[in-house]
Amino acid sequence: MKKQLLSLFTLFVSVPCVAAERNSPEGREALEIYRSIVSYPTVKGRGEVPKMARFLASKFKKAGFAARDIEIFPIGETAGLIVTYRGTGTKPPLLFLGHMDVVEAKAADWERDPFTLHEEQGYFFGRGTSDNKSGVAQLTAAFLHLKRQGFRPSRDLIIAFTGDEETDMLTSQALARKLAASRPEYALNSDSGGGRIDAEGKGTEFAVQVAEKTYASFEVTIRNPGGHSARPRSDNAIFELADLLKNLRGHTFPIMGNEFTRVTLMAAAQKPNVSPELKAAILAFVGNPGDAQGQALLARAPGLSLTLRTTCVPTQIVGGHAENALPQSATATINCRIFPGVPVASVQQQLVAAAANPTAEWKLLGNPTQSDPSPVNEKLFAALAEVVADRFPALPVFPYMTPGATDGKHFRAAGIPTYGVSAGFSGPGDNSNIHGLNERHNVAKFFESLDFWPKLMRLLGS
């Protein structure tokens, strides 16, 4: 692994490439697709995802993709979309992922209509402009461009757009199971990763997501007979739940060390802006994960410590049934992001112990999906370094783990190594308020990124 990591940081090739101009045919087409798909309010319950899938399918059909290579995959009120770019079959297929759905956007709270693409002051505003309709638009535009150019890959290139990544992930699971049968070499997910630049526009890194935590939520409930509010009792359910949550607030899960964290930490130590103190802590921890001083220093580095341990936090609370009655129950939802490889049951056991209330009732919500980290793929990282070098020669390409959740976990769980790779570079404030008000995406960065996927697909598919 150490040799692999060292070679990872020395494989950089610079090949000139001209970014797509806004007024070029490719630029105009990508913007038209982007504007159209942002206009679909693909929120759970609105039934708009199949409409967006049909719109995209019409684009692929018009570009010359055979009907048998375009499949809309309905599940309930949503859908997935699979598009196959046929190759010679001399190599295993590659998958390219994105999600068509978005989180809800309450129009009354926004400064602009969230489901209309607005361009102001160098930014595109609208729900999904960053998460993840920019990725969907760019992958779509790449397939259309390569098809017109007559590119014939040595392997099938397969787009898989899911329709409920932000909620139930049923299409994610279904598409992962279906596509695993084609035995793809790996998948590239446009919903995470990507380049970073500083405030002066200098490239600092290109990050590749190779792992993500297990998403799991628990409900914890306190119950008692309740009674009249004029006769308070010492075992008030809301007070007891408050005490329990205070106990959980003081609980911190330990920093974890394994082969993946060592690779990630060594990559972090190579960054040019890492402080000498943090670098020393990283080296101490990599050399001895049990080193107390190294653990303490890493715990004070928020960006790193979040990826090195399990985190649990209360996100919802409900209790009582009337303002003039003592509560008969009080319930909190505890959302956990669990370090890869750690069993969900063991996290629940630690929460129960930390809560220190033997009468509390605990319930695991749903069926959490656990997935192992994807191995660092040296050839893929070298190809990424070559594409990245068009903008920033010799820029490091780093593996990392996201504390959030994406479709990638289901593809990893299906046995498909998955890497989060979004196109282009973002700086401070470029892609902000994801899931929040006035979500936005940098206009210039959108067009600068349009050459990323076509070039990468040519490198990986030739």
Provide the residue ranges of all domains of the chain, joining segments of one domain with +.
2-212+371-461, 214-365
Q: Rounded CA gap, 316 and 298, in Å?
A: 29
pLDDT digits (tens, 9 = 90+) for 69-106: 999 999 999 999 999 999 999 999 999 999 999 999 99
Q: Rounded CA gap, 41 and 101, in Å?
A: 8
Q: Is the pLDDT of residue 11 over 50?
A: no
Q: Taking Cα atoms as reference points, which of 337, 307, 336, 310 lies closest to residue 400?
A: 307
Q: Is the pLDDT of residue 256 over 90?
A: no
Q: Taking Cα atoms as reference points, which of 145, 146, 137, 152 lies closest to residue 100?
A: 137
pLDDT recorded at residue 15: 34
Cα four-point dihedral sign 285, 289, 293, 295: positive
Q: Look at 29-33, 114-118, 254-258, 331-335 and tell me which has the smallest mean pLDDT.
A: 254-258
Helix (H) or strand (E) holding 449: none
Chain centroid to CA 373: 14
Q: Which stretches within 189-338 are classed as H helix?
A: 237-249, 259-269, 276-287, 292-299, 302-308
* Per-residue tokens: 215: 């998403």
Its CATH architecture, for the domain 214-365, is: 2-Layer Sandwich (3.30)
pLDDT digits (tens, 9 = 90+) for 422-456: 998 888 877 668 899 999 999 999 999 999 999 99
Predicted TM-score (pTM) of this structure: 0.86
pLDDT recorded at residue 57: 98
Helix (H) or strand (E) holding 210: strand 203-212
Q: Is the pLDDT of residue 14 over 50?
A: no
Residues belonging to the chain: 462
* Per-residue tokens: 8: 């990872």
Q: Look at 270-279, 314-323, 435-444 and tell me which has the smallest mean pLDDT.
A: 270-279
Q: Rounded CA gap, 392 and 205, in Å?
A: 9
Q: Is the pLDDT of residue 7 over 70?
A: no
What is the residue-averaged pLDDT of the chain?
90
* Per-residue tokens: 306: 């979040």
Half-sphere exposure in the Cβ direction for 245 (13 Å, CA):
22
Share of the chain above pLDDT 70, in %: 95
Pairing relation of β-strands 70-75 and 78-85? antiparallel
End-to-end CA distance of the chain: 27
Confirm if 434 and 406 have CB atoms less than 8 A apart: no
pLDDT recorded at residue 431: 64
Segment 308-326 shows an average pLDDT of 95
* Tokens 């002066």 belong to residue: 200
What 3-state class would DSSP assign to 182? coil
pLDDT recorded at residue 363: 98
CB within 8 Å of 125: residues ≥ 6 apart: 111, 112, 117, 118, 119, 438, 439, 440
pLDDT recorded at residue 157: 98
Q: Look at 110-119, 235-244, 273-282 and tell me which has the smallest mean pLDDT.
A: 273-282
Segment 279-288 shows an average pLDDT of 83
**Residue-wise burial string across 109-143, b where 16 or more C-beta atoms lie within 10 A, e elsewhere:** ebeeebbebbeeeebbbbbbbbbbbbbbbbbbbbb
DSSP, residue by residue, 103-167: ----GGGSSS-TTS-EEETTEEESTTTTTTHHHHHHHHHHHHHHHHHT---SS-EEEEEES-TTT
Q: Is the pLDDT of residue 6 over 80?
A: no
pLDDT digits (tens, 9 = 90+) for 32-43: 999 999 999 999
pLDDT digits (tens, 9 = 90+) for 107-134: 999 999 999 999 999 999 999 999 999 9
Chain centroid to CA 31: 23
What 3-state class would DSSP assign to 243? helix
Share of the chain above pLDDT 90, in %: 72
Q: Rounded CA gap, 13 and 386, in Å?
A: 5
CATH topology of domain 2-212+371-461: Aminopeptidase (3.40.630)
* Per-residue tokens: 195: 């380049």
pLDDT digits (tens, 9 = 90+) for 358-402: 999 999 999 999 888 899 899 999 999 999 998 899 888 988 888
DSSP, residue by residue, 397-419: EEEEEESS--THHHHHHTT--EE
pLDDT digits (tens, 9 = 90+) for 148-193: 999 999 999 999 999 999 999 999 999 999 999 999 999 999 999 9
